[in-house]
Amino acid sequence: MDRNFKFILLTCMLLAVIGASACIGGDKDETAKGDSFGENSQDLVVGISSDVNNWYLDKFADGDARFVWSQVYETLVRLDSNLNITPGLAESWETPDNGTTWLFHLRKNVTFHDGTPFNSDSVVFSYSNKSYVRQAVLKPIKSVEAIDNYTVKFVLQKPMPLPFYLTHVAWPIMGPGCLDKAGNFVKPVGTGPFKFESQTKDQEIVLTRNDAYWGNKSLLDKVIFKVIPDPSTQVMAFENGELDMIIKVPEYDVKRLEAKKGIQVQRKLSTFTDFLQFNCDKTPFNDTKIRQSVAYAIDTNTLVNGVLNGIGKPAGGRPYSPNMMYSDPDLKTYSQDLDKSKALLKEAGWEDSNGDGILEKDGSPLNCTLLVSKGAWAARHTLMAQVVQEDLRKIGMNVEIQVLDEGAISKLEGVGNFGMILRSGYFVWGPYPKHFFIHHSKSPYSHYHNETYDQLVDAADSTIDPQKQKEFYYALQAFVIKEVPAFYLVHEEKVVATGPSVKGFVITAEDPWLDLSGVYLERK
Amino acid sequence: MELKRWKIKLKMKCLRASEIKRSISENDRKVRRISMWKYIAKRLAMVLVVISGVTLVSFVAMYLAPGDPAELIALERYGQDLDASQIESVREAEGLDAPVYFQYFIWLDHLLHLDLGRSIITSDDVLEEILLKLPATIELTVAGLLISLLIALPIGVLGALQKNTLLDNCCAFISLIGISIPNFWLGILLIWLFSLTLHIFPSYGYGSLNHLALPALTLGISMSSITARLTRASLMEVMEKEYILAARARGFDEYTIVLRHALKNALLPVVTFAGMQLGYLLGGAVIVETIFSWPGIGKLLVDSIFARDFSMVQGCVLFIAVLFSLSSLAVDILYAVLDPRIRYDMYD
């Protein structure tokens, strides 16, 4: 065979492979501008970081999946943009016995996307024993039964403020049409303002307007969620006009985008707070004075203004966001005071006896590890951990940062082989202060054991009287500030950027939630 | 003068052709063909051994990785509000309480029935999921390799021919930059240049040759640097051989010598390296896939490892091992095309 011919043949084969694969992918989006939008197009293109891996109630919807879920599915109880509780698929609710039994009166004339009516049966279906929420967060539910077509009764094992729990978008109402006759999941069927149209794995999810929606119908024809895992790529695709909206703008891009003509950047305190969780079972953090000294050593203002470009609010130990219910506005938080911090360490018996800058006690140096997860918050947490390390070095504490995957962290956590863990957003799905449970002795994440604290949490979660709840949660906040089972660093801010075409968008405090009601496009 | 040179060239060509004809008789060709098929059959048998080994190692590695797989899977399914009973029920339901060797043999048994199982996390069919991602992976891999060769070969040849000149130093400098630049940064730089500034290519996505351009270029550039240096070194070595000296003595110009005589022999180590790179690309283009939202197997594998999705990891590893083995076999066969002196019975 002639050599040149061989070479040409080989090249043609390679090109054929590429061409064939490209053809399999189908030719879309040929231009660098992505989808070429028509002038009157009402198709909103939104960038998200992760795909929807699950649409059904038997599993938890994690990551950005919930932004998509919140368009298709709805909950019995809703929150407005400032986290106030409002009716959702339930028009009203009541408890005849102070929180053990709850009656929900359902909205009439609501239909699912497949045309079937929404009624009590669909609520019973959504909160059956098969639902993950019954096996996880709402274990105390004894039974869910239909009293009549539009009244549902929840019976609990103990009094609970159930309506707060039912606001979470990850346990919404699903239509029985989600399943086929054999009981296998077919497609998402909800009552939301948008219907599921198609999903291309790890690429895009297309939703179309639900014209039979019971509320204000959307002004958009479609919402197309594009899966782009890399935040930098998301921002560049947005700037290039390939996306209309990005719902998690990286901190380092906010100021730049705010300065750009036509781009709107909206910011709002979310329900998430980053915190340092201490291992209170082991030295050095089994001593309250050491935990307090850490609280005095860390400058949370630097964390926000230095590391996070001013995005977020310094927490100074405040357990949860000021926009959450029962957040005590007069709570005395920590501000950096190195003298106080050093004095507390001295009181606890730690001194630098060999002059190396690291304190010792009984011959052991003041060393500890700080675990940081490689997960969704890795980028900000790694930088924050470095500031913490630097601040604690000033008071004579040597911190070793370990950035690990969740598996490695859970193993170290299980055997108690750590000093601190940098965490974010545990049990903060709405305004309700469920987060306090994380330091309860029964919590799988707890590394703190205090009977008084446990009793306060149990009492707070077992009452539905707002006044009593307020008293308990105020007491819990004061307790966390004084005893420091964890030190709270930064209240996160939600940052959403919209392109010049997008009109009528209003950011909400709830995370992860995306409210597209009133949004429309004016393409130029 | 020109006519004389042309006559000499023609004479040389005829001489070489008759030499080859003499050295490889018809019988010899037959033997070569048979030994080649024998060799391919042997190598395919080896592929089975390799796959068994690789899947076993990955299974054990997953088992030994830090963290309790049952707990991690339960976390994925039920979120943060977990308790011990849920972890135990996941352990039981997914057969994670059985000894690791038993779990592996069960997986092998299913594999023999062409059943790769379902994802522990998403319940998706593993085989379907992988076949969905395979075209994207092959497309990116082949395009990346092609671009890397298109960049590397000219730079390598120029460097070898103009060694220790300003041009060679420039080529070396470009290669050094290519090696030093991390993939993720190069990818973002290319998006900035070709999407944001010049508006030529889309910044992300999959589905057309336009979408393929930037990820393939990112992979190609990062791969081409080492290939270029290798080509240069190999070609410089070949250029010292006696037959090159003989060709020079016959009055051939330098470029004819390189293209007709030297380059083919110099390409052997380059082909080997490209074959190795192909394997790296099949599973290792994770960063590029992440940056450009390219739905390939690499990213699927890494995500599955973090989620301890055993069945998905095993499926991906199996496919990558098969593709790697087959590409390595293809490279070996290509040797004989490049160098007729290589005989497959040498391996017996």
Does residue B185 belong to the interface with chain A, where contact is any CB pair within 8 Å?
no
CA distance B341 to B265: 11
CB-based contacts of B202, cutoff 8 Å, min separation 6: A29, A31, A32, A33, A34, A237, A240, A242, B195, B210, B211, B214
Where are chain A's structural domains?
41-244+499-523, 269-493
Identity of the residue in A59, A233, A410 whose CB atom sits nearest the CB atom of B203 = A233
Concatenating the DSSP letter of every residue in A385-422 gives: HHHHHHHHHHTT-EEEEEEE-HHHHHHHHHHT--SEEE
Res A29: pLDDT: 43
CA distance A302 to A314: 8
Tell me the Ramachandran region of residue B75: left when phi exceeds 0, alpha when psi lies from -120 to 50, beta otherwise: alpha
CA distance B299 to B287: 8
Contacts B90 to A, Cβ<8 Å: none
Distances from the Cα of B156 to the Cαs of A255, B160, B240, in angstroms? 44, 6, 16
Does residue B310 belong to the interface with chain A, where contact is any CB pair within 8 Å?
no
Calculate mean pLDDT across residues B245-249: 85
Q: For residues A71 and A191, is the Cβ–Cβ distance under 8 A?
A: no
pLDDT digits (tens, 9 = 90+) for A181-205: 998 899 999 999 999 999 998 899 9
- Asked whether residue A6 carries a pLDDT value surpassing 50, the answer given is no
pLDDT digits (tens, 9 = 90+) for A154-177: 999 999 999 999 998 888 999 999
- Looking at CATH, the fold of the domain delimited by A269-493 is given as Dipeptide-binding Protein; domain 3 (3.10.105)
Q: For residues B129 and B309, is the Cβ–Cβ distance under 8 A?
A: no
Does residue B340 belong to the interface with chain A, where contact is any CB pair within 8 Å?
no
Query: Looking at this protein, which amino acid is placed at residue B107?
Result: W
CA distance A122 to A74: 12
Concatenating the DSSP letter of every residue in A43-97 gives: EEEEEESS-----STTS---TTHHHHHHHH-B-SEEE-TTS-EEESSEEEEE-TT
Position B309 confidence tier, pLDDT thresholds 50, 70, 90 = confident
- Burial (CB count within 10 angstroms: exposed 0-12, middle 13-18, buried 19+), residue B236: middle
Cα angle vertex A279, ends A277, A283, to 5°? 140
In chain A, what's the furthest Cα-to-Cα distance?
Answer: 92
User: A351 - beta bridge partners?
Assistant: A360
Res A134: pLDDT: 87
Position B23 confidence tier, pLDDT thresholds 50, 70, 90 = low
Identity of the residue in A17, A229, A237 whose CB atom sits nearest the CB atom of B290 = A229
Most confident of A52-56, A115-119, A128-132, B299-303: A115-119
Position B29 confidence tier, pLDDT thresholds 50, 70, 90 = low
Tell me the two tokens of residue A455.
């009793």
Cα–chain center distance at A420: 21
Least confident of A103-107, A398-402, B311-315: B311-315
Res A35: pLDDT: 45
CB contact under 8 A, B195 and A236: yes
- Asked whether residue B12 carries a pLDDT value surpassing 70, the answer given is no
Place of tokens 């509780």: A85
Q: For residues A224 and A29, is the Cβ–Cβ distance under 8 A?
A: no
CB contact under 8 A, A136 and B81: yes
More confident residue, B5 or B266: B266
CA distance B315 to B305: 12
Identity of the residue in A28, A59, A411 whose CB atom sits nearest the CB atom of B67 = A411
Q: Radius of gyration (Cα) for chain B, nearest Å?
A: 26
More confident residue, B348 or B192: B192
CB-based contacts of B342, cutoff 8 Å, min separation 6: B335, B336
CB contact under 8 A, A236 and B86: no
Dihedral over alpha carbons A188, A194, A198, A203 (to 10 degrees): -110
Res A210: pLDDT: 96
Concatenating the DSSP letter of every residue in B46-77 gives: HHHHHHHHHHHHHHHHHHHSSS-HHHHHHHHH
pLDDT digits (tens, 9 = 90+) for A59-71: 888 788 989 999 9
CB contact under 8 A, A242 and B292: no
CB contact under 8 A, B78 and A203: no
Distance from CA of B71 to the nearest CA of A (A): 8
Identity of the residue in A27, A33, A239 whose CB atom sits nearest the CB atom of B208 = A27
CB contact under 8 A, B66 and A411: yes
Among A1, A18, A415, A437, most B C-beta atoms within 10 A, so best to mutate, is A18
- Asked whether residue A435 carries a pLDDT value surpassing 80, the answer given is yes
CA distance A15 to B216: 13
Res A36: pLDDT: 45
Res A60: pLDDT: 82
CB atoms under 10 Å from CB of A364, counted, come to 11
- Looking at CATH, the fold of the domain delimited by A41-244+499-523 is given as D-Maltodextrin-Binding Protein; domain 2 (3.40.190)
Identity of the residue in B66, B83, B300 whose CB atom sits nearest the CB atom of A407 = B66
Res A415: pLDDT: 83
Residue B314's SS3 state is helix
pLDDT digits (tens, 9 = 90+) for B78-100: 766 667 777 888 888 888 888 88
CB contact under 8 A, B135 and A407: no
Tell me the two tokens of residue B249.
């003595």
Among A2, A186, A203, most B C-beta atoms within 10 A, so best to mutate, is A203
Contacts A412 to B, Cβ<8 Å: 66
Res A130: pLDDT: 84
Res A137: pLDDT: 81
Tell me the two tokens of residue B295.
């739905």
pTM of the model: 0.84
Position A20 confidence tier, pLDDT thresholds 50, 70, 90 = very low
Res A409: pLDDT: 86
- Asked whether residue B279 carries a pLDDT value surpassing 80, the answer given is no
Calculate mean pLDDT across residues A246-264: 93
Position A135 confidence tier, pLDDT thresholds 50, 70, 90 = confident
CB contact under 8 A, A242 and B202: yes
CB atoms under 10 Å from CB of B247, counted, come to 20
Tell me the Ramachandran region of residue A176: left when phi exceeds 0, alpha when psi lies from -120 to 50, beta otherwise: alpha
Distance from CA of A31 to the nearest CA of B (A): 7
CB contact under 8 A, A427 and B81: yes
Res B334: pLDDT: 75
Residues 6-45 of chain B with CB under 8 A from chain A are none
Least confident of A136-150, A447-461, B236-250: B236-250
Dihedral over alpha carbons A213, A218, A222, A228 (to 10 degrees): -110
Tell me the two tokens of residue B296.
């390939």
Distances from the Cα of A369 to the Cαs of A190, A275, A285, A389, A448, in angstroms? 46, 15, 11, 10, 17
- Asked whether residue A305 carries a pLDDT value surpassing 80, the answer given is yes
Q: For residues B328 and B275, is the Cβ–Cβ distance under 8 A?
A: yes
- Asked whether residue A350 carries a pLDDT value surpassing 90, the answer given is yes
Calculate mean pLDDT across residues A275-297: 95
User: A361 - beta bridge partners?
Assistant: A364
Residues 246-285 of chain B with CB under 8 A from chain A are 264
- Phi first, then psi, for residue A203 (nearest 5°) are -125, -60
Res A478: pLDDT: 96
pLDDT digits (tens, 9 = 90+) for B46-89: 888 888 888 888 888 877 877 777 887 787 777 666 677 778 88
CB contact under 8 A, B201 and A202: no
Residue A503's SS3 state is strand
Identity of the residue in B80, B122, B300 whose CB atom sits nearest the CB atom of A427 = B80
CA distance A489 to A377: 14
User: What size, in residues, is chain B?
Assistant: 348
Identical fold between A41-244+499-523 and A269-493: no
Tell me the two tokens of residue A504.
């009528």
Contacts B72 to A, Cβ<8 Å: 406-407, 410
- What sign for the dihedral angle of Cα B228, B234, B240, B244? negative
Res B141: pLDDT: 87
Contacts A24 to B, Cβ<8 Å: 135
- What is the percent of chain A where pLDDT is above 90? 65
Calculate mean pLDDT across residues B204-231: 89
CB contact under 8 A, B139 and A25: yes
Least confident of A213-227, A309-323, B23-37: B23-37
- What is the percent of chain A where pLDDT is above 70? 93
**What is chain B's mean pLDDT, rounded?**
80
CB contact under 8 A, A237 and B195: yes
pLDDT digits (tens, 9 = 90+) for A207-252: 999 999 999 999 999 999 999 988 889 999 999 999 999 999 999 8
User: A493 - beta bridge partners?
Assistant: A269
Position A486 confidence tier, pLDDT thresholds 50, 70, 90 = very high
Position A133 confidence tier, pLDDT thresholds 50, 70, 90 = confident
Res B24: pLDDT: 54
- Asked whether residue A372 carries a pLDDT value surpassing 80, the answer given is yes
